[in-house]
Structure 1
Amino acid sequence: MRTTQLLLVEDNPGDVRLVRETLSDVTDESFNITCASTLRDTLEKIATTKFDAILLDLGLPDGNGIDLVKRVVEATPRTPILVLTGLVDDRIALNALSVGAQDYIVKGILEGQSIARAIHYSVQRKRLLQQLEMLRDIDEAVSSTLDLKDIFGSFLQRIESLFPVAGSCVQRIDKNGALQPLVVKQVEVDELADYPAAADFPRDGNHETCNFAITSFGAGASAPFKRRGWRGAVQIPLAVNHQPWGLVSLFMNGEHDLSDEDSNILRMIISRLTVAVQNAQLYESIVQLAEDLRRSNKVKDEFLSIMSHELRTPLNVMMNCAEILRDGVVGDVTPEQSAILDRLLVQARNQLGLVNGILHVTRMETDKVEINYQEIGLREFLEDLKADYSISFSRERVELVWDIPVDLPRIQTDRDKVRQMLENLINNAIKFTGAGKISVIARVLDSQWIEFKVSDTGSGMPETALATIFEKFQQLDTTATRAHGGVGIGLYLVKQFTDLLKGRIDVTSELGKGSCFTITLPRTPEANATAGLQNRPAV
């Protein structure tokens, strides 16, 4: 037979006797009734005793009405309260429900089974609400934090509303298979040293079938708990990803058997806590993976930087020696020998450009790229670039045309980056133009902006390729690409340098007819701030 711990708050001895006699007629439930006749006495009893329900009269010597209900609800928010009211007090009783009471009972029509049902349903309703609140709180904790101590701490705090818990703890299995405390409540860590784990872990990870162990404390290892007056514990095993993870223990002052309802709510809670552990483990693995990638990238960047430096040194020596030989510093050079040396210099410069490109990409990824603004005469700058190509470029079926207006202004920009941008575009055009024309055009757009165009009549690109051509290591799968090689960083660097200089690059292309790349740059670093590039039409 179920026993209900009931607090009867009533200052009328006749009504107290009537309630006792009425409840004594109930055959399927017994009531252990504690009485209080004042608000003060009520609050004292609530502070020292846990009740399943409270029958509360609305008129006491030191409190009455809605304020009385509020005071009792504040003192024990998790205990269901049933208001005792007279026949004429229905409105007040309904108001009491709005501030936290679970139900009301009319004194004039007291009947044992009806009161028992009202108490039972109120207890069930209150318990269901508490279960839903706990599940909601755990769901919120799981979705808002990855700190397992916070999540399990919230769980241990809220579980007291559902079970007569005197203390609790969550232990985690360490790498040696031993249980180590993660969160404890009303328990000393050293008391857990010899605490036995009697629960079986669900090796299949299925908490629907896991075994909750109910242990009773005897002498020996459980002596510290027995001295506290604790009678036993409910042990709840946790398994994550089919592996034992830890143990939740709820210590009880008295005997406590788990009902089917208790087991079901515990399984729902444990399933949510398991998700929290899985999320935390996933986060830890992602953090570890990110750290591994960071270290790997650091090693890669250091290797590329060292490799680039080591390759640049001999390339520069080779180029200097070739120039000395070609210029006749150490002796006369025949036209045939000069042509060979020119070809050697072209290939060495191409190789040096590739090495520099890799070095720039490495610096880009580590945010070590600096902008070196300086004033340059745009016409002289382009004439120097043209002169270099007049020496290095030799293709019978391809014409390289330069359109350099005489009135080009002086601008403030990073000379080396602009040169590499144009070289990459020109070299890209040469690579994909077997026969035809390549044009390099510079013009002033207005007082704030200048424009460079590099166009060709080469193989062109399909429209589907335009969205990805500026990505790192992106190459078209074409005959020209396979014939001339490359690693796919030229256009990537053009885009990155354009962005660094607060400019824009646009591209148009038609398969089989050629491509046109347009770079728009500010004439000064301040130009971008005074005339937004995003407002300029794309070319």
Structure 2
Amino acid sequence: MEQTLKILVVDDNEVDRMAVRDALTKAGLQMELFEVSNGNDAFSALNTTAYDCVFFNYRLPDQHGLTFIQQLRSSKIKVPSVVLTAQGDEQIAVQLIKAGATDYLSKSKISPEMLVQVLRSAIRIYWAEMQAALVNQQLRESHEQLLRKNQELERQQQQIQIQNFKLLEVSQLKSYFLATMSHELRTPMNAIIGFSQILFRSKFGQLTHQQADMVERILSNGKHLLMLVNEVLDFSKLEAGRLDLKAEIFDVSKVINLAVGEMRSLADAKNLSLLVQTDLQNTLVFNDPVRIKQILINLLSNAIKFTESGEIWVEVKELPASRVTIVVRDTGIGIAPRNFKRIFEAFRQVDQTITRKYPGTGLGLAIIDSLVRMMGGKIFLDSKLGSGSMFKIELPRQITLSTEAADAPDVQLDSDDIFSSAKNPHHSSSQTR
């Protein structure tokens, strides 16, 4: 069913109003037609009733058509409007359209067909304009909303930056505090260890069995505490970027055997077999021997700590591209795959409870990971719960020192260098227990 249209005709000429009325009636439109003779009455009618279209004469007795259109716009009354003009007044009609009228029609061309065509066109144009205005309004609102969100995001970003600066400052203070405290603690700890060792010397008198046992406990706990303090100190230096490698040419097999020798008593105390196999065509490397020993001692300490029975193997082998690998295997409790990454995080242990069975700072593997990265190497982990673990470290034979290490020797190792040992080639392949 066709919609009933409400149409308002504004004209002081009764004959012209009749012509519009007859043409619309003959067109067979479903409509309600309302007529007024001046602009004021038209304005009052439009304020109280919603019309689908307004036909108005551009020359009204109380005001010009331009004034009428401007009054509608200022009052925010939105309705399709068609200007009725006399012959030759098309230029004036164009001005009215620019001011806000929807369309115009010369009175001399009023006919049912023309009037219906102009009416439908005006309504379509009006609704298209309304739709465009609605879309523009939504776009403006969206734009304003985006601006507000951007402002909020900028504010949050500034807050995050401030928090990051604060966290960085706290982290730096923490690192400096740890470094300072660790350094201060090492002095009395070295004294405790030193005096404990002196007490064992026979020239100071023979200790009773009970006294020797107590001094042995002091010495053992002092060394353990010093190791923990050194871990914290190394970690704080690594965090602050103040730990430098002191590289030199050394025999890696000797350093490995030295580290294994230091840890053998701990393995023997738990009846664990500790095996070493070196398979290198050239045992000389350019690296930091102290840090290589530290890495191996940490790995062996963990292997012994988490192994109740069985064996621990240390293997050193050649790799292509002038690299070597150090592997530490054990038959210990193993590590679940979900914890592979976590155990390399600082202060992180699989068992975080205060009643945990295995003590430690949780810094050992974090320090190893950082040192291996500094050396340009990689560390790999393979483990299974209840079946033991395997830590494999791959390192270049010749590490590259940072630019800060200005006093480091300029060493180039190639086929004609000392590493080739051309005049005295040797192959080291041994297994000790």
TM-score, normalised via structure 1 length: 0.49
List runs of 5+ in structure 2 lacking aligned partners: 1-19, 21-35, 48-55, 57-62, 84-88, 107-112, 402-433
Aligned to 1:382: 256
For 1:297, the aligned partner's letter is: S
* 2:46 corresponding residue in structure 1: 29
User: Which protein is bigger by CA-based radius of gyration?
Assistant: 2
- Aligned position for 2:224: 350
Q: Which residue does the alignment assign to 2:414? A: none
Match of 2:335 in 1: 461
| 1:487 positional shift | 2.4
Q: Letter of the aligned partner of 1:136 in structure 2?
A: S
1:138 partner letter: E
Distance 2:101 2:292 in 1: 80
CA 391–81 in structure 1, closer or farther in 2 if over 3 Å, else same: farther
Q: d(CA) in 1 for partners of 2:168 and 2:262?
A: 40
SS, match of residue 384 in structure 1: helix
Greater relative contact order (Cα 8 A, min sep 6): structure 1 or 2? Answer: 2
* Aligned-partner Cα distance in 2 for 1:359–1:339: 30
CA distance in 2 between counterparts of 1:125 and 1:406 reads: 82
Identity %: 23
| Counterpart in the other structure of 1:500 | 374
Query: Partners of 1:331 and 1:406 in 2: how far apart?
Result: 47
SS at match of 1:29: helix
What is the rounded CA distance, in whole Å, between the counterparts of 1:394 and 1:335 in structure 2? 26
Q: Deviations over 1:259-304 (max 9, x none)?
A: xxxxxxxxxxxxxxxxx4xx66655654554455344434433332
Other structure's SS at 1:485 match: coil
Decide whether the 8 Å contact of 2:279 with 2:318 is kept in 1.
Answer: no
Provide the residue aligned with 2:147 in structure 1.
141
Q: Is the 8 A contact 1:473 1:487 kept in 2?
A: yes
User: Quick check: 2:247–2:288 contact (8 Å CA) kept in 1?
Assistant: yes
Cα distance in 1 between the residues matched to 2:278 and 2:220? 24
Q: How many residues align?
A: 338
Deviations 1:44-92 (A, max 9, x none): x9xxx999899999x999xx9xxxx9xx8xxxxxx97846589xxxxxx
Runs of 5+ in structure 1 lacking a partner?
A: 1-17, 37-44, 73-78, 87-106, 147-275, 528-539
Alignment RMSD: 5.2
Q: CA deviation at 1:339?
A: 8.7
Which residue of 2 is the match for residue 452 of structure 1?
326
1:13-28 correspondence runs (5 A): 26=42, 28=45
The aligned residue for residue 435 of structure 1 is 309
Quote the Cα distance in structure 1 between the aligned partners of 2:336 and 2:183. 37
Aligned partners of 2:263 and 2:206: how far apart in 1? 22
- Residues 115 and 456 of structure 1: CA distance in aligned 2, closer, same or farther (over 3 Å): closer
Q: Give the alignment of 1:315-354 within 5 angstroms.
A: 315-323=189-197, 345-354=219-228
> Could you tell me whether the CA contact under 8 Å between 2:263 and 2:300 is conserved in 1?
no
Aligned to 1:403: 277
Q: Deviations over 1:184-208 (max 9, x none)?
A: xxxxxxxxxxxxxxxxxxxxxxxxx
- Residue 128 of structure 1 is matched in structure 2 by 134
1:505–1:518 CA contact under 8 A, matched in 2: yes
CA contact (8 A) 1:378 1:408 kept: no
TM-score, with length taken from structure 2:
0.60
Q: Distance in 2 between matches of 1:137 and 1:323?
A: 78
State whether residues 200 and 207 of structure 2, in contact with CA within 8 Å, keep that contact through their aligned partners in structure 1.
no
TM superposition shift of 1:520: 1.2
Q: Which of the residues 337, 347, 368 maps onto 1:473? A: 347
